[in-house]
Amino acid sequence: MAKRALVTGAGGFIGHHLVKFLKERGYWVRGVDIKHPEFEPSPADEFELLDLRKFENCLIATRGGFDEVYHLAADMGGIGYITAIHADITRNNVLINTNILEACRINGTGRFFFSSSACVYPQYKQKSPNVTPLKEEDAWPADPEEGYGLEKLFMEKLCQYYREDYNLETRVARFHNIYGPLGTYEGGKEKAPAALCRKIALAKDGDEIEIWGDGKQTRSFLYIDDCLEGIYRLMQSDYAEPLNIGSDRMVTIDELADIIAQIAGKRIRKRYDLSKPQGVRGRNSDNTKMREILGWEPQIPLEKGLEITYRWIENELRKAGRIS
């Protein structure tokens, strides 16, 4: 008999890819979200439009019980979005998270996966571009990203409490900058790789593009296929503490733009806007525990993942008549 899985946030970037991943492995999947996937139909066996801020909708989403619940639904976006809006993001996500967790307890769930974020890590450890890779235990003493990071850290603890008090098996992954095709690439909620792919695709050879900050801030970026493999391996494991799911290859935003420009075959000039948000100065994932627990590490090089992502965004812009 096929395993039953629920994917919340199935209309979003990672959730949509995860539904496809699970279907390919023989799961029966129900997807729920406040919206349908933007770029292609969901392959879920059932897809329901539900606002998970409302508890009764979480009971509907989890009805029938599930072997595995993958909770990715969230109000989120790129650094420009999560630094500008704190009250709405925090309220929305606290409601979504607490409601779905309690509904899973009531309706019966074998295992519950929560998608946390590297934004939980203390800002005092991320003040230099040459940042020391962040280990899972570094999250405390806490000083997370305001709003988004704080509510993620709160939910990590709530998962722990439900495991301890109600014996609900929970798994928590801290994502580090997931990117790939079928993700938002404009409109204010896009992440850095997609935003730079769009800017460079729209630019002519020799044009100038805008870089937020001075370009020296550092990050690591994980391609979506590696993210899905990490999620699945963690869900099947016996490890219940938060675990980094990310790449440990750190690059500057300048270097990220240069890689994309090389893929595009374009020379670009950069104009730095220091008034725009850039987040912490440096962030990288320590993957020691991931390799130990999962017996695995990400396989897709940044250049390969960006090539796929850039070509997809370029093609979307071409279909829209915005480039020839």
243-281 residue pLDDT tens: 999 999 999 999 999 999 999 999 999 999 999 998 999
Instruction: Determine the pLDDT at residue 114.
Output: 98
Q: Is residue 234 part of a domain?
A: yes
Which tokens is 12 given? 């979003």
Instruction: Determine the pLDDT at residue 324.
Output: 86
Which tokens is 38 given? 């933007």
Are 21 and 155 within one domain? yes
- Tell me the C-alpha distance between 216 and 241, whole Å: 32
Band (pLDDT 50/70/90 cuts) for residue 323 is: very high
Owner of token pair 């991943």: 21
Identify the burial level of 56 via C-beta atoms within 10 angstroms of its C-beta, where 0-12 means exposed, 13-18 middle and 19 or more buried: exposed
What single-letter DSSP state applies at residue 152?
H
C-alpha gyration radius of the chain? 19
Are 40 and 68 within one domain? yes
Are 210 and 143 within one domain? no
Helices (H), the chain: 13-24, 55-61, 79-82, 87-107, 148-166, 192-202, 224-236, 253-264, 288-294, 302-319
- Tell me the C-alpha distance between 269 and 207, whole Å: 6
Q: Is residue 290 part of a domain?
A: no
Instruction: Determine the pLDDT at residue 201.
Output: 98
159-175 residue pLDDT tens: 999 999 999 999 999 99
- Tell me the C-alpha distance between 262 and 306, whole Å: 11
Q: Is residue 288 part of a domain?
A: no
Q: Which domain holds residue 49?
A: 4-178+222-245
Quote the pTM value: 0.97
Instruction: Determine the pLDDT at residue 75.
Output: 97
120-145 residue pLDDT tens: 999 999 999 999 999 999 999 999 99
- Tell me the C-alpha distance between 306 and 256, whole Å: 9
Q: Give catalytic residue positions.
A: 148
Statement: residue 1 has pLDDT above 90: no
Q: Is residue 289 part of a domain?
A: no
34-62 residue pLDDT tens: 999 999 999 999 999 999 999 999 999 99
Statement: residue 29 has pLDDT above 90: yes
171-219 residue pLDDT tens: 999 999 999 999 999 999 999 999 999 999 999 999 999 999 999 999 9
